[in-house]
Structure 1
Amino acid sequence: MDKPIHPLSEIFKQLGLSDDPVDIDRFITTHSPLDDDIKLVDAPFWSDSQRDFLKEKYIADDDWIPMIDQLNEALHPSKK
């Protein structure tokens, strides 16, 4: 069975953030670029519950990983 594909807005919703495209752009602009040595889950702007969500999904090799990777790339533009 194929894993569901989640749009980037869904991860913002799951993290308790606004899923409005303008707010997503604002979040990424405000919090990027992250230094290359800072992992997404270690970024200082996450709450404990947001950090736990991101870690959980990675450990579980969850279907959220493509969206988490997309968010990571958006916050680490120098890695492209």
Structure 2
Amino acid sequence: MITTEPRMTNLFLQLGLDASEEAIAAFIRDHQLSNEIRLIEAPYWNDGQRQFLTEQLRSDAEWAIVVDELSEALHADATVQANAG
């Protein structure tokens, strides 16, 4: 059971990633997804990370909000391009 406050930094820690502001910004910048790829389908997650993200989205708990925020951030470029066309 996860007892830490659901924030982006804690989500990155749960995923085993660098949770510094700079590292989060770089991850989001460097791992943009097309609108056709759902967050949990991204090729860069390992099985444990994918399972964690899937469980959080299915539970629709507090963590789901942060996972959704990550998904929106990782789809930001594709959204801008779709709206520009």
**TM-score, length-normalised on structure 1?**
0.87
CA root-mean-square deviation: 1.6
- Structure of higher RCO (CA pairs closer than 8 Å, 6+ residues apart): 1
Whole-angstrom CA distance in 2 between matches of 1:58 and 1:16: 18
Which 4+ runs in 1 deviate beyond 6 A?
Answer: none
Partner of 1:41: 40
Partner of 1:53: 52
* Runs (5+) with no aligned partner, structure 2: 81-85
Deviation at 1:5, TM superposition (A): 5.4
Whole-angstrom CA distance in 1 between matches of 2:79 and 2:6: 23
1:12 aligns to 2:12 (yes or no): yes
Q: How many positions carry a matched residue from both structures?
A: 76
Q: What one-letter code is carried by the residue in structure 1 that aligns with 2:41?
A: D
Whole-angstrom CA distance in 2 between matches of 1:57 and 1:65: 5
Whole-angstrom CA distance in 2 between matches of 1:6 and 1:56: 14
Higher gyration radius (CA): 2
| Structure with higher helix content | 2
